[in-house]
């Protein structure tokens, strides 16, 4: 169950076949995810149903791509036509010429399994998503260092280091409400961020850092902790691998050098290091801010070395690793990791081999294959809930390439997105989460409590809008038409959910009867000090300062620091022409990436994106609030209104939100240079110039 209550004008919650109108949405008190707290997106969600912009029926393009000429067709006609093209291309070029791209719109649990299953059963490893820019770097770094991504025991921590994270905007119902309660009970909150965020405004200490230098700071903190003899000797000597090599590395990062690199005063670096090491227990909450840099993976490696150094793993109030739910592999991920990944167009196979349940490849690698034809051309694309033209770097370039190079483009979405309007041959109407059944379960890093496991059902509260169908219905229907029907033996999403939860001793019928879902309490004795008897799920069976998986793949085994590939230091000549540092990753608490921008109540609160500029910079350029300005980088340019604010702490930095389809904000970034392990672009550390229009 989605963790909120739906109040209906007519009909009964038990009579799910009747059309009803949503009157109000409120939080479900005590729910395991959010304890009844809602953000603006949840409160406004009913407008997903009432929106006049919803796609109501399947549509076939009748003019040229992007011309806007459409004919209504039936679902059978649409699926038959799509299947005919897929079968033709599969027989001529092999199944690997088919790609599927997916976004966050469909959610990450039940629907992702269907996306994986369809592609794995088809025989193509080219399922692309944007996890390499969000979450997957954390999963890969922590998975290779300690065997999994830890959850955070916020409630019992005494010191919380929010690093490149702004949960006051991005996780208001869950993490920020929990952090706020902890702070009220005396927990110290420290925020490390280039921008003075909403979270920073509530912290006990705000630490401004030069964009992209987080890895140097992490090594500098470790230098002080070891020098002051504040590290956990028992942990590093008995349960860690590579400590001596790591300790030798951090000797090269004394406070004076780190201060020069990061622009943080030496006394502040020392204050944070000593407080973090001395305050027990402490935890480190790292966010998406460091996942879109050219040095992302080693930065995360350096940051997550600190909990091991201070012994804050497997302790109450620290980082908690629990055994994941024992769900069956109905997605056939074994096929992906057993061969399809190697046969895919992925340029980052090591990174993708370590993402576990995410089994997919970088969406950017699919577009590179379309661009270059290497290692082979992608000829058809199924785009499910993804607004890639709005978020990937160089969106304009890829739009023209997709128009030219693909024989079939299908979009399954709630609205006529840019991808639907400008690229699609066939557009299919999708259901929202309020209109369909879907299995949901807790993944590490998203829990409402570190010591729980949860599984439940998203349930329909209104009938589907028009002829909308869920991802499950769409892909199962198509699967039966392209010769992989045996992979979809379930008649509906509830039968699929039943097959998923049966190994847990549950049934879909039980979950239907229990809207709050099923909750397991993980005994603390299983999580606290687990490594002393079980070890870590790593090659060495220890916490790995020296990352043996990285080393085996040919990457640096230690968390080395490298200057961002796009910065005033690494690109001094470019900096002369583009004298401002640009971050295009600011997230609003009103939206989720590209979603919800068209809901009237949220659009009224934030009708357009604004570029945030420091008052000194604005004055020097003759810019006032809400003036239209042109922002230009070596990659592209866009125009939007200015917001003069002290959230921008340094005059040489500017910030922009992303996810607005009407603005080409993503065209300011480029795919390369990129992080060598993950392939992440430099969205959070670019160089730009600004002028008043």
DSSP state of 463: P
Q: What is the pLDDT of residue 424?
A: 97
CA–CA distance, 473 with 489 (Å, rounded to integer) = 12
Does a structural domain hold residue 4?
A: no
Residues 307 and 277 occupy one common structural domain = yes
- In DSSP notation, 344-379 reads S--S-HHHHHT-GGG--EEHHHHHHHHHH--SS---
Does a structural domain hold residue 677?
A: yes
Residues 605 and 543 occupy one common structural domain = no
DSSP state of 188: E
Q: What is the pLDDT of residue 107?
A: 67
Does a structural domain hold residue 499?
A: yes
Check whether the bond before 281 is cis (ω within 30° of 0).
yes
CA distances from 175 to 28, 151, 448 (A): 16, 11, 7
CATH number at residue 540: 3.40.228.10
Q: H/E/C letters for each residue in 77-94? A: HHHHHHHHHHHHHHHHHC
Q: Is the dihedral of CA 479, 481, 484, 490 positive or negative?
A: positive
Closest by CA to 283, choosing from 240, 316, 250, is 316
Q: What is the pLDDT of residue 279?
A: 98
Residues 195 and 107 occupy one common structural domain = no
- Give 468's contacts (C-beta < 8 A, 6+ positions apart): 54, 55, 56, 414, 429, 430, 431, 435
361 sits in the region (left: phi over 0; alpha: psi -120 to 50; else beta) called beta
Residues 363 and 311 occupy one common structural domain = no
Closest by CA to 555, choosing from 544, 542, 566, 546, is 546
CATH number at residue 336: 3.40.50.740
Are residues 457 and 438 in contact, defined by beta-carbon separation less than 8 angstroms?
yes
For 475, the 3-state DSSP assignment is helix
- Picking from 479, 500, 521, the residue at the C-terminal end of a domain is 521
DSSP state of 456: E
Does a structural domain hold residue 365?
A: yes
- Averaged over successive runs of 10 residues, the pLDDT of the chain (693 residues) comes to 44 38 83 83 91 97 95 98 98 98 76 95 96 92 96 96 95 91 97 96 98 98 98 98 98 98 98 98 95 97 98 97 92 96 97 89 94 96 92 86 94 96 97 93 82 92 95 97 97 96 96 91 90 96 98 98 97 97 92 91 95 97 98 96 95 94 91 94 96 96
Does a structural domain hold residue 411?
A: yes
Residues 101 and 190 occupy one common structural domain = no
Q: What is the pLDDT of residue 106?
A: 63
Does a structural domain hold residue 160?
A: yes
Pair of tokens at residue 313 = 């793993």
Q: H/E/C letters for each residue in 100-135? A: EEECCCCCCCHHHHHHHHHHHHHCCCCEEECHHHCC
Strands (E), 194-281: 205-207, 240-241
Q: How many CB atoms lie within 10 A of CB 473?
A: 18
The torsion defined by the Cα of 616, 619, 625 and 631, in degrees rounded to 10, comes to: -80
Are residues 566 and 684 in contact, defined by beta-carbon separation less than 8 angstroms?
no
Going by DSSP bridges, is the β-strand pair 653-657/580-586 parallel, antiparallel, or unpaired? parallel
The torsion defined by the Cα of 539, 545, 550 and 552, in degrees rounded to 10, comes to: -50
CATH number at residue 668: 2.40.40.20
CA–CA distance, 659 with 662 (Å, rounded to integer) = 9
Phi then psi dihedrals of residue 275, to 5 deg: -65, -45
Nearest-5° angle of CA 18, CA 24, CA 30? 105
Q: Which residue has the tokens 């990129």?
A: 674
Does a structural domain hold residue 5?
A: no
Residues 86 and 167 occupy one common structural domain = no
Q: How many CA atoms lie within 13 A of 461 on its CB side?
A: 24
Residues 262 and 228 occupy one common structural domain = yes
Residues 330 and 458 occupy one common structural domain = yes
When divided into structural domains, the chain yields a total of 3
Residues 356 and 335 occupy one common structural domain = yes
DSSP state of 72: E
CA–CA distance, 99 with 462 (Å, rounded to integer) = 32
Going by DSSP bridges, is the β-strand pair 452-458/438-441 parallel, antiparallel, or unpaired? antiparallel
Does a structural domain hold residue 352?
A: yes
CA–CA distance, 464 with 472 (Å, rounded to integer) = 14
Closest by CA to 257, choosing from 298, 215, 228, is 215
CA–CA distance, 268 with 255 (Å, rounded to integer) = 10
Residues 67 and 160 occupy one common structural domain = no
CA–CA distance, 566 with 574 (Å, rounded to integer) = 9
CA–CA distance, 386 with 93 (Å, rounded to integer) = 25
For 459, the 3-state DSSP assignment is coil
Are residues 394 and 39 in contact, defined by beta-carbon separation less than 8 angstroms?
no
Residues 422 and 453 occupy one common structural domain = yes
Residues 203 and 349 occupy one common structural domain = no
Pair of tokens at residue 353 = 């081999």
Q: Which residue has the tokens 């230690």?
A: 558
Q: Which residue has the tokens 């909150």?
A: 189
Are residues 200 and 210 in contact, defined by beta-carbon separation less than 8 angstroms?
no
pLDDT digits over 179-219, tens only? 999 999 999 999 999 999 999 999 999 999 999 999 999 99
Q: What is the pLDDT of residue 351?
A: 95
CA–CA distance, 678 with 581 (Å, rounded to integer) = 23
Q: What is the pLDDT of residue 3?
A: 53
Range of the domain at 83: 59-133+326-521
């Amino acid at each position: 169950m989605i963790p909120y209550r739906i109040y209906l004008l007519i009909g009964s919650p038990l009579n799910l076949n009747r059309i009803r109108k949503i009157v109000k949405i409120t939080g479900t008190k005590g729910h395991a995810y959010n304890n009844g707290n809602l953000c603006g997106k949840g409160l406004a969600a009913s407008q997903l149903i009432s929106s006049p912009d919803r796609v109501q029926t399947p549509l076939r393009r009748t003019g040229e791509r992007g011309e806007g000429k459409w004919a209504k067709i039936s679902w059978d006609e649409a699926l038959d036509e799509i299947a005919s093209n897929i079968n033709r291309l599969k027989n001529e070029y092999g199944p690997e010429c088919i790609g599927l791209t997916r976004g966050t719109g469909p959610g990450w649990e039940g629907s992702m399994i269907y996306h994986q299953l369809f592609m794995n059963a088809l025989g193509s490893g080219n399922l692309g998503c944007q996890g390499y820019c969000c979450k997957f770097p954390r999963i890969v770094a922590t998975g290779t260092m300690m065997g999994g991504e830890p959850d955070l025991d916020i409630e019992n921590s005494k010191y919380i280091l929010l690093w490149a994270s702004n949960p006051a905007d991005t996780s208001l119902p869950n993490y920020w409400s929990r952090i706020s309660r902890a702070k009220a009970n005396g927990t110290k909150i420290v925020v490390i961020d280039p921008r003075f965020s909403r979270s920073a405004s509530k912290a006990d200490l705000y630490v401004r850092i030069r964009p992209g230098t987080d890895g140097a700071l992490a090594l500098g903190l470790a230098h002080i902790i070891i020098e002051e003899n504040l590290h956990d000797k028992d942990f590093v000597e008995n349960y860690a691998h590579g400590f001596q090599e790591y300790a030798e590395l951090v000797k090269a990062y004394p406070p004076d050098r780190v201060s020069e690199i990061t622009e943080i005063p030496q006394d502040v670096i020392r204050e944070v290091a000593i407080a973090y090491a001395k305050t027990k227990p402490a935890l480190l909450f790292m966010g998406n801010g460091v996942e879109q840099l050219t040095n992302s993976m080693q930065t995360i490696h350096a940051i997550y070395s600190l909990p091991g150094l201070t012994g804050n793993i497997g302790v109450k109030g620290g980082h908690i690793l629990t055994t994941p739910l024992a769900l069956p592999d109905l997605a056939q991920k074994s096929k992906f990791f057993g061969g399809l990944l190697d046969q895919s167009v992925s340029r980052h196979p090591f990174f993708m081999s370590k993402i576990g349940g995410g089994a997919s490849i970088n969406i950017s690698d699919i577009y590179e294959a379309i661009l270059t034809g290497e290692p082979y051309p992608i000829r058809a694309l199924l785009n499910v809930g993804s607004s890639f033209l709005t978020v990937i770097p160089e969106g304009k370039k890829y739009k023209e390439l997709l128009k030219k190079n693909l024989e079939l483009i299908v979009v399954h979405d709630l609205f006529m997105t840019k991808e639907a309007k400008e690229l699609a041959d066939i557009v299919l109407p999708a259901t929202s989460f309020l209109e369909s059944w879907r299995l949901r379960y807790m993944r590490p890093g998203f829990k409402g409590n570190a010591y729980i496991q949860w599984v439940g059902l998203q349930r329909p509260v209104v009938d589907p809008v028009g002829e909308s169908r869920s991802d499950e219905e769409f892909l199962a229907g198509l699967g039966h038409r392209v010769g992989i029907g045996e992979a979809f033996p379930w008649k509906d999403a509830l039968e699929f959910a039943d097959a998923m939860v049966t190994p847990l001793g549950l049934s879909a019928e039980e979950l239907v009867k229990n809207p709050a879902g099923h909750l397991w309490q993980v005994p603390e004795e299983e999580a606290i000090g687990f490594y002393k008897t079980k070890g870590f799920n790593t090659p060495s069976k220890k916490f790995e300062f020296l990352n043996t998986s990285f080393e085996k793949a040919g990457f640096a085994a230690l968390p080395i620091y490298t200057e961002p590939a796009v910065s005033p230091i690494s690109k001094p000549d470019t900096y002369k022409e583009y004298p401002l540092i640009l971050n295009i990753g600011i997230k609003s608490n009103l939206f989720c990436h590209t979603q919800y921008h068209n809901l009237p109540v949220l659009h009224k609160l934030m009708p357009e994106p604004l570029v945030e500029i420091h008052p000194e910079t604005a004055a020097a350029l003759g810019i006032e609030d809400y003036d239209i300005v042109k922002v230009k980088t070596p990659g592209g340019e866009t125009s939007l209104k200015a917001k003069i604010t002290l959230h921008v702490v340094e005059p040489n930095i500017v910030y922009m939100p992303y996810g607005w389809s009407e603005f080409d904000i993503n065209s300011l970034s480029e795919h390369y240079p990129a992080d060598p392990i993950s392939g992440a672009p430099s969205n959070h550390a670019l160089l730009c110039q600004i002028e008043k229009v």
